[in-house]
Amino acid sequence: MADQYVNLRPGLNNVGNYQVSGIPFASSSIVAPTGSSTPLEITFPSVTKFVLVKNTNATSATLRVGFSANGVKSGKNYVTLAKDESFCGELKLTSIFLLGDSAAVTCSVVAGLTGIVPGFNLTTAYSGASGVG
């Protein structure tokens, strides 16, 4: 009977992982490259409970925030943030992609992490998915 509990691990549908406070993740002074470059991927050490991205650039350059490199680079599947704007979402993610619209952009990322390890029943290949790009 005890053997049935040997492989229990936190999973994406384990409500308790999302009811407790998230493990903090914060990174500031991130420089997202210009639109002609490869998008910057921010990879989280575990699945997120929420993520907040803020455009902290000193100029009026806008920041693209998305969920695949393709969606941010050549698609139309991203959120655009003007100077001092932020985006916050309760999302199950293992990474996000950042790209300056017409110039490199400084930004910050804050996330609440769950105890769910990346790759555990979470598709991270969102590229090509509807609404992601």
Coil, strand or helix: which one is 116?
Answer: coil
pTM for the model: 0.85
Mean pLDDT (the chain, rounded): 86
8 Å CB contact between 32 and 54: no
Residue 25 has pLDDT above 70, yes or no: yes
Q: Span 24-42, mean pLDDT?
A: 94
How do the domains of the chain map onto residue ranges? 24-113
Residue 42 has pLDDT above 70, yes or no: yes
Nearest C-alpha neighbor of 99 from the set 42, 53, 40, 56: 40
Return the CATH fold of 24-113: Jelly Rolls (2.60.120)
Tokens encoding 113: 């992490």
- Average pLDDT for residues 114-131, to the nearest whole number? 66
